[in-house]
Amino acid sequence: MRARLALQAAGQAVEHREIALKSKPAEMLRASPKGTVPVLVLRDGTVLEESLDIMRWALGRNDPQGWLSGDDAYRSEVSDLIAQNDGDFKFHLDRYKYPHRYGLADGVLHRDLARGFLDHLQARLAQHGFLAGAHFGLADAAIAPFVRQFAHTDTAWFAAQTWTHLTQWLQDFEASPAFAQVMEKHPVWPGDAASVA
């Protein structure tokens, strides 16, 4: 989702190929043997296999909303926040959302361990309105999809928390035209088309 958000914000046209991960096409695995999504194959054959790399590539080409703007201290702050999300928070999110994949009876412990990061986001949102300032930017786009997964794992529990700013931020994200566009359903790619442009 975050790769799609950045491609959309940057106005980068791509040929979208929806992959069924239970039946990965050979063409995908030739391009990216690790077999995860997203994968972006550039015209010159370069393969980007990480969503953050795709975000930075797209925004490096065109950044009309200023997602990459700011001084070195600001960019470092955004990078640190995303690293926290992609590190400890995602570790606990995966085990909260899919406890049986990890041999756990439930994910409650990991839900509680993830809470500190969400408390941190709540405090930032109370101060700034967005995660790293006065407007939606790279940090918001990179982190919101994961907070959304967390919130939807147990919606009643999430709604009962006191994260008023975090909840409003997430609701605004889910109500945005950008979110609606990146959530559009695509037919599954059968894997017999030409290589991605």
Residue 104 corresponds to which tokens in the numbers above?
A: 């756990």
Residue 192: the pLDDT is 54
Which segments of the chain have a pLDDT < 70?
Answer: 192-197
pLDDT score of 156 = 98
Beta bridge mates, 188: 18
Alpha carbon separation from 127 to 120, 121, 133, 169 (Å, rounded): 11, 10, 9, 13
**CATH number of the domain to which 103 belongs:** 1.20.1050.10
Tally the domains of the chain: 2
- The answer on 60 and 81 residing in a single domain is no
The answer on 78 and 60 residing in a single domain is: no
Q: What is the CATH number of the domain that holds 56?
A: 3.40.30.10
- Over residues 21-33, the pLDDT tens digits come to 888 888 888 888 8
Is 18 contained in some domain? yes
* Res 195: pLDDT: 40
User: Where a domain ends, among 65, 80, 113?
Assistant: 65
In terms of domains, do 108 and 14 share one? no
Range of the domain at 35: 2-65
Which DSSP state fits 150? H
CA distance 89 to 82: 10
76 and 60 within one domain: no
